[in-house]
Each structure stands twice: as structure tokens, then as C-alpha cells.
Amino acid sequence: MERRLAGLYACEPALPGVHMPSTEPVDLLSRITGAAPSLLRFTHAQPNQFEIILQAGFALPVERPTNVYEFLRDQLGVPEEVIQQRIQTLFLNSSPVDNLLTAQVRPGSTLALSGALPGLLGATMRRGGYYSRMREGISYKQDEPLTEEHAKPFLVQVRLYNLMARDLAGYALRRGILVPKDRLCEFLEQQPPAFWMQFGQCELDEKPIPTDAFHQAAWEPCTETILLLLADSPVKE
């Protein structure tokens, strides 16, 4: 970041009544990986501006295996009406999903979400659509039954395509997403001044940090992956 921005977009100090997310995702990640990742907790008035990060993919810690519907509702925090009306296309391990209640998210799972895709291909991939029978050969099939070996915390790889990246950004960031440090640094380096003006309170590993300090050197002591955690309420001047 350009040093001339120093002070202009500095993060607010901690304020009464502003709820910063708990460190629960950090504790869960410690159980999964054996070590806690670096944690960036922040407030931002426009979380959908992080859509590029969400499109590129991120990891989400999960306590135990669950079906896709419960994963979206309980783990990603997406309201039921958004699940039913906006998320039109889902891929679990590259296979289109029709029934969210039977498709299982388990260790090793990769989940991709999309809104309505255009054309015949989009209609074919849409869950529960009229043309879904045309891709029966590649549709999601029930996995082997879960065993005791699966009953432990794990990471789910998630990608959000097209409008889903913007629509679900706030939900995902409030739950806490794990992204590679290099990818985060590259993303931040490319952001315009308007992006930084939306920041409020920021903490890196529980220490307040101004946004003008988000240059490459600031991340050197951090772990190779960073947990991004968005506060419930943005702090504005």
C-alpha cells in the first residue's frame, strides 16, 4: 500500500457496543491443523467488495459432517430464503447437486455455488430443473455411509461464482474464511482508495492495525494462511 495513505484510512480503535467475532473458528482450526492461523478481524461497510477472494476459493472449518442444506444454513450462515431462491446451481466434488438434504459435506469435500447460469447449459445444471435429467450421468450420487472416522472437524473448500460471491460475502466472512496469505496480499495491493475507506476496526492477531500497514512486510510474521473474520457491525466515522 502507498505510504502516503497513512492515517487517512486508519482503523478505528475498539469502541463500546461494537461486537468483534469470537475466536471460535481459530480454536476449531487449531484442532484440525494442529496450529492456530493468523487472524485478521475487521469491520467493513461493503463486504461484497471481497468477492474476488471468494471467487478464487477459500476454506471453511466444520465441526462434523453434515448435509449441504445444513452446511449452508448453519456453517455458512445463509438464510433459508436465500438458499431456496438465489442459490440455483451447486457442485459437490464437481458433481451437480439436486437434493441438498441427501448430499453430504464430509472431509475432502469441495463445494461450489452459483446463481442461475445462462443458456441450455445453465438450465441443465440448475438443481431440480426440468433439464437436470440430461446430466444424470454426472449428477451427485450418494457417498458411502459415514463412519466414526469421519466424525471429526475438517476443512471444506468453497468457491462462490458470479453473483453468489457478492450476495454471500457477508455471510461467509462473518463465519470466518481461511485464505492463502499470498492471495490475500495480492488482493489488498490491488484495491483502490474507495475500498480502504470502508474499513472501520481492524485487528491482526489481536493487535490493532491501521490499513496503511497492510503492505507486504506486515504479513511476513503471519502463517501461510490467514483467517478473515468480519465483525457484525461496521464502524464508521
**61: helix, coil or strand?**
strand
Could you state, in order of their start, the residue ranges of all structural domains in the chain? 1-58+180-237, 64-152
pLDDT of 164? 92
Distance CA 65, CA 74 (A): 12
Residues 6 or more apart in contact with residue 7 via CB below 8 angstroms: 210, 212
**pLDDT tens-place string over residues 110-149:** 999 987 765 665 566 667 665 566 666 656 677 677 676 6
Condensed to tens digits (0 to 9), the pLDDT of residues 66-81 reads: 999 999 999 999 999 9
Range 186-192 contact pairs with CB under 8 angstroms and sequence separation of 24 or more: 187/50, 187/52, 187/53, 188/1, 188/214, 189/1, 189/216, 191/49
Alpha carbons within 13 angstroms on the beta-carbon side of residue 29 total: 23
